[in-house]
Amino acid sequence: MGFLDRFFKISEVGSTVRREIYGGVVTFLAVSYILAVNPAILSTTGMDRGGVLCATALAGFFGTMMMAVLANYPLVLAPAMGLNAFFAFTVVRGMGYSWQIALFAVVLEGIIFFLLSLSSIREKIINAIPMPLKYAMAAGIGLFISLLAFKSAHIIKAHPDTLLTIQNFFGESFHTAGISALLALAGILITAFLLDRNVIGSILLGILATWLLGMICEAAGIYHVRPAEGFHSLFPHFSWESFTEPFKGFAGLFGSAFDVDQWSCLNSDKKGLALLRSMEFAVICFSFLFADFFDTVGTINGAVINTPLMKEDGSIPRLRGALFADSVATFAGGIFGTSTTTTLAESATGISAGARTGLAAMVAALLFLISLVAAPIFMAIPGFATAPALVIVGFLMLRSVKQIDLEDVSGAMPAYLAMAGMVFTYSISDGLGLGIISWTVLNCGKKGRVNWLLWLISIIFLAKYIFL
């Protein structure tokens, strides 16, 4: 324990080894849904589902371990929601590229990201963001992960007229989506009750209690297992095939980004089409890079604000190591066979549970690795069981709004647009973009409020919205 304390400087930040281990476990449980969701999304492109599960776990292990060692931050990396949907439904199914070429775009984006990490430009961008926007990012990410939680728990559903509506709990889908939503709501109240009573481990206990209630409902015939609709058994199922099939699929994915036979669609005998496809491919790479970069910026700022991990002046120490880990993780994830790997907003769950160092990240990384052989256990944890943790963390992150001077319209309005944008555009980076653009416009001409870097970022975001 002494070595861990010295290496991760645990005592220096006022934490303990036990607290860091707990924080790592809580964070992993909060992000473990990605082990089920990412394969489900990417498999729509023809990729082997079990193979993607392996690639997801390995990307999570590698990226999170890099974050632990290089930056000593309790941040977890894994293939991100949103970017995996862009990979599957836009690049492959929409634009007609093979999934091998899409993986190559991810690898190429990771290389560019890595080269940018060698310079100080990324740290300058992050440190140039005004404090009101940093507070807004924390609150916005809190609302964003709460939206993800409500969606994964089926508390809300799509509606053609109102976009979203609340679940019909006791309708035809009571035994699937209805009971899942009710269990999630019960879990939120249980977790909030434990948190209010200052019970140690309230977030983890909330996850386990909700899962246990779900298993009781399944055993009693209230919760129905319907895999075709996305409702799987809440009891772990162990078999030899459940252990071996993912590894067989992974063997066919690893290194597929460099399958040159799949690059033929970039060339054509038709005049001009080859150039058009090449330019289109460049746009794809830039889109991956843009979203990855600003998602990382928003997530790191939002997760560490109001904690000892951020300095009083708003700067973040050891930032280059964190960004370096993120870029290398994307590169490695593409080789493993998964979409863009980035820092996840759910990392705030472990930080709220007390995690302050890379030991928490190392614990989460090892759990990603263990999930390769214990996949049946982690795959059995439903979205409605992890949803309460995300909602509670979202509530805790919302408290940063108190730091924003709401009487200063030129500062509060951009902060509001950033928060609202993250939720309504379903994108952390787009919400941040709206905040930065509005800050630059409203504070133009005010001494010391806008520097050249904010102008540059605003122009880049505007160009992205106009041309992409």
Q: Tell me: the pLDDT tens digits for 140-179? A: 888 988 888 899 899 999 999 999 999 999 988 999 999 9
Task: Give a yes or no: residue 458 inside a domain.
Answer: no
pLDDT range class, residue 260, cuts 50, 70, 90: low
Position 410, amino acid? S
Highest mean pLDDT (candidates 191-200, 217-226, 253-262): 217-226
Asked if residues 291 and 82 have their Cβ atoms less than 8 Å apart, the reply is yes
Query: Which structure tokens are listed for 91?
Result: 């690049």
Task: Give a yes or no: residue 167 inside a domain.
Answer: yes
- Summarize the confidence of residues 393-406 as an average pLDDT: 87
Q: Would you state the pLDDT for residue 268? A: 52
368-379 pLDDT, tens digit per residue, is: 999 888 877 777
Using the predicted structure, report yes or no on whether residue 65 has a pLDDT greater than 50.
yes
Task: Give a yes or no: residue 3 inside a domain.
Answer: no
- Summarize the confidence of residues 45-57 as an average pLDDT: 91
Cβ-Cβ contacts under 8 Å for 339 (sequence gap 6 or more): 38, 42, 79, 80, 83, 84, 86, 87, 88, 102, 106, 333
More confident residue, 17 or 237: 17
pLDDT range class, residue 275, cuts 50, 70, 90: very low
More confident residue, 39 or 240: 39
Least confident of 231-235, 394-398, 420-424: 394-398
- Summarize the confidence of residues 439-446 as an average pLDDT: 93
347 lies in which domain range? 9-393
Indicate the number of domains in the chain. Answer: 1
Task: Give a yes or no: residue 189 inside a domain.
Answer: yes
**Pick from 108, 433, 464: nearest CA to 295:** 433
Task: Give a yes or no: residue 414 inside a domain.
Answer: no
Using the predicted structure, report yes or no on whether residue 286 has a pLDDT greater than 90.
no
More confident residue, 201 or 133: 133
pTM of the model: 0.76
pLDDT range class, residue 264, cuts 50, 70, 90: low
- Summarize the confidence of residues 76-99 as an average pLDDT: 83
- Summarize the confidence of residues 256-282 as an average pLDDT: 62
Highest mean pLDDT (candidates 53-62, 315-324, 376-385): 53-62
Q: Average per-residue pLDDT in the chain?
A: 87
Task: Give a yes or no: residue 424 inside a domain.
Answer: no
Which secondary-structure segment (H or E) carries 343? strand 341-343
Cβ-Cβ contacts under 8 Å for 212 (sequence gap 6 or more): none
Q: Would you state the pLDDT for residue 272? A: 46
Task: Give a yes or no: residue 445 inside a domain.
Answer: no
Q: Would you state the pLDDT for residue 72? A: 94
Highest mean pLDDT (candidates 77-91, 252-266, 322-336, 377-391): 322-336
Q: Would you state the pLDDT for residue 179? A: 97
Task: Give a yes or no: residue 98 inside a domain.
Answer: yes
Q: Would you state the pLDDT for residue 271? A: 40
Query: Which structure tokens are listed for 49?
Result: 């589902």
Using the predicted structure, report yes or no on whether residue 35 has a pLDDT greater than 80.
yes
- Summarize the confidence of residues 426-444 as an average pLDDT: 91
Q: Would you state the pLDDT for residue 150? A: 93
Using the predicted structure, report yes or no on whether residue 122 has a pLDDT greater than 80.
no
- Summarize the confidence of residues 358-377 as an average pLDDT: 91
Q: Would you state the pLDDT for residue 39? A: 86
Q: Would you state the pLDDT for residue 270? A: 44
Highest mean pLDDT (candidates 61-70, 306-315, 441-450): 61-70
More confident residue, 435 or 127: 435
Q: What are phi and psi of 230, to 5 degrees?
A: 90, 10
Q: Would you state the pLDDT for residue 196? A: 92
More confident residue, 403 or 187: 187
